[in-house]
Structures are given as structure tokens and as C-alpha cells.
Structure 1
């Protein structure tokens, strides 16, 4: 496959599977009310929101849409307990994962293939995960697939792709050459996690065990899960009518009953939402020209959406 054809395939993938990364790569110069400065703030816990504005980290005080942009370039980011993860462009054709400390200083850097799409840090700050879109896998008819990696920052153990994990479906081992994973979210024990698995035209919520290197399929039509602070619910984007071409409805799944509640946000949410607290979700929406903004909505289906930070994306509550 030629370079031009591979790039075209990647762009198509981003449109179909969650076209965030292509916007990161192609859009620049979006303006907001946040002022640029040196990275004098921190990622330490507090009532603040970490976002990405103009491809740079920004920390916004709770209840305010103004703040400070750090001189740290990222296209996707997340942070918890004083640990940050930044997916950034290393050169025009390559990206990397950078693990940051509370003062934005790099602790570890890993090269990653493809275009950045998702990033997560566990509540303790120990575990870091990322997802990219990559091209060239032989099983992918369109010339693309996802690649999701996980790093244990305490032990230094990393997994380059969840495709290495054994899959259990309906109590039996499941094997397929077309497995893809994306959108990791961690449980409080820093071992269990949830993610999306795609195979043979379906998309499924899976529960993973990092130590055992296994994932178990739980149910279908769940993408980009985000575990609630108490570990009982998963916010996710649900394909309307089971068809991603019709858009996604931001919804919440009760893990005990498997009951789903749609939020009051009726716009198509193509994002991995973040829990601001036990009752509220934050997420990115884009205008027709690609301009992002961070919004919030109650997780129980009540209320209505409200604008949090114009011109921003990739929200992560710092505490």
C-alpha cells in the first residue's frame, strides 16, 4: 500500500470509528479565553479541569472557563493523582506517549504507531493507557486498525497492544484475527480495566485483568467506556440503532443490572467521556467546522447539557 493510500485509509478509519485524531492533526489556531503561559501550574489534585486547547495542556478552575495554557504540546491528554499522560507529535510522521509528573516534567516516553485517539490514567496515577489508529494490518480490509497499550508506571511493565491478551466470550476462549481494542478505563485496584473490543462487525464492552492478561466480553454496542468513581457504572457512547453511521448517544450502564440510561445530551458524542464527580459527565462536542468545546451533563438522564470550556477538548478532572 502506498503512503498516500495508507493516509487515506487512516482518515477513513477516523471518520468511521471516532474521528478525533484527524481533527487534532489537521486543525490549528482555534482560540479560547485561556491565556498562554509557561507551565507554572501543576497536575496535582484539586478542583480543576485539565483540557487540551490549541494542542496544548490547559488547567481550568472549577466553575470557570478561563485558565492557563502550559507550554506542553499534546493532542490528547489525561491526568489523575499527579500523573499525566500526553500523546504528542514527535515528528511529522510519528507520535509518542509521554508520562508527566505533577509539574509537567516527562517521566517516561514511549514511541507509538499511528494517530492518537484515546488516553487514560488510573485514579491512583499508577496505570496509563493509550489508543492509536494504525495502518497496514493484513486483516483490516480498509488498511487500518486500532492499537491500545498499557503501562504500569510503578513496575515499568508495558503492553504494546491488548491483542496479546486472551479473550473469553460466553465462558469460552475466543479467537479472531481481526481483534481491535480501544478506550481503556481503569478500576480502583489498578489491575482490572474496561475497554471496547471490536471483532467480526461487532463492538463489545470487555473487562480486563492486566496481571492475568485476559479480557472477558460483557455485552455489545458499548464504545469508549469510562468507569464511575465508585466503580458501579460505565459511561459510554452507544451507536444509535447499533449503527455508528447514525451517530452515538452518550449513555450510562449499571454494571450490576446491565441497565442502560441515556443522558439528556442528544447530540452525537464521539468521545470517551470523563466523570467530573459521581453524578456528572464531561465530554467534547464539535461544531460543523471542527471547533471543539467541553460540555457537561448529569449521568442519570435528568437535567440538560451545559457548556463548560469553549475551544477545549480532552477533559480530565484533577480532583
Structure 2
């Protein structure tokens, strides 16, 4: 149960505290490794087939390395010292999740927007999106923040939570020999997601070398993205009841059914479609990436103009979703205590 407790404690701490920039961070180490491997393989492979193969090697190496490191760290630090093992695992879980950091970065954009400084708003937005921001209007900036928070609810919160929870259930059902999956599975997910963020683009530079990472990220996010959408709908259902306005929930469901596959990614549109319905607006649409216009279909039927305060509302919704996930964990923990 100590591994499960470390998971829950790390998850709860992320609810309140963003990443501490001064401390070494797991994702930064992952990012540096991916960066240097890309440089190394680009020197060796020059053809499209070669780059495709090198991208496959980058994925295999990182999954094996970081999965192995998570297993060995978790196993041997606990053998060295039980308390030290708990602290190390708890801290790794804290760094795996990204809710508080996502809120912090999105609210930085929010405060620049309400200050009326569009240049600073664009600059703050550029820290959390991959698109070009220099010509965006205030409304486009707000929509970009909403899209990012909605998409990253799955990538940064639900997906690592789900894989840690799956690892916990496997350990509960099949015994202590699987206990390390509680940390290993979310670590493997995190490095896959990091690879996709760094090299999983569809432009000329990354199309081949990032193909394996992009495909694998689509696979590992398939269930989490849909689970995230249902968690959002569950929360919105209760919001609709509290507001005595069931149209909020109905719009969200309709937008989800109609637009969840409009996004070029099979997963990103799952949560974005729900949020587009909630705010009764249109999200996505055309955007510039690396100076090139990328044509995208809009998500949603609504005509509402989004406001800066909608960023605050969406962050509150994701926090409510966070609480739902935590309740699920407590239920699983209660069942485990009863069985054991």
C-alpha cells in the first residue's frame, strides 16, 4: 500500500502546488535525452526511411530506459531505506502530474489579458502552445488557452492518473510482484507524451523521425482522452443541476458526439468538443505553425464570444474533475484495504 499512498500523495500535492522550477525535473531529463538522441540519429540517417527507423529507435530506447529506471529506482531505493523510497516515489508522482502548473501558466495569460496588454498576452501564451501567437487577437488568445487546458487535462492529469491506477489495480488483483507498475506505467506514458511533444509534428522536419512517437502517443492516449471527456461530462452534469440550466449539459453532449473526431488528432478533440459545447462557442479553426498556415475545421456550433473569465471557469472545472479522480482512488484504496 505504500506505493499506492505515494501515488495519492503526489497526486494531491499537484492539486495545490505547481512544479518547483529550481529543482531537477523528470520531464526536463526526458527532454534532454530525446533532444540529444535526435541530434545523434540525424547525423547518421539522412533518408526518409532512415529517419523513420531512427524515430522508432528513439521510442524504443526511451520506453525501455525510463521504464527500467522507474522500476530499478522504485525497487532499490525502498530496499535502501523505506522512508527514502516513499519520498522519492512521492516526488516523482508529483512531477508526473501537471494540473497546478497548467493552471499557473494559463492564469499568467489570463492576467495579461485583463491587463489589456496584447503583446504580453501573446508572449505568455507562446509558453504553453506550439502555434505562432504574434498575430492573435484577444479572443483567439483566450480560445487557444481554453483548447490547451482542455487537451492537457487528458495529457497532464487523467492519462498519468489512469496508468498509475491501472498499475494499482493489476497489483491488487495479481499480487505484490506487479506493485512497481504503479510508477512504471505512468513514467512510460510520460516519456511517450514528451517524445510526441518534441518530435511528433507533421511538418517536413519531423514527419518521419517523429512518426513512431506520434502514433504511439495516439495509442496510449486513446482510452485516457475518452475517459477525460466522460469525467468532464460528469462534472458538467452536476454544474448544470446546480445552475438549474440543463442546456449546458445537453450542449456539451451534442458537441462531443458531433465534433470529437474533427481534430487532426484522434484524441485531442474528445475533451475540446465537450468544452466547446459547454461554452457554446467554436474552438480550433485555422492556425499558424512555424510560419505556415494549417487549415483546421472548427469544433462546436455555438456563436458565443469567449471571455477571459472563461479561463478561470475551465480551470475550476478541471479542479472538480481532479476531485472526482481522487474519490475514485479512495474507493479503490478502500476496496484494497477490505480485501487485504
Q: Assess same fold via TM > 0.5.
A: no
Q: TM-score range by the shorter chain?
A: under 0.3
Q: Given the two structures, how large is their TM-score scaled by the length of structure 1?
A: 0.24
Q: Which has the higher strand share?
A: 1
Relative contact order, higher structure (CA 8 A, sep 6+): 2
Q: Which has the higher helix share?
A: 2
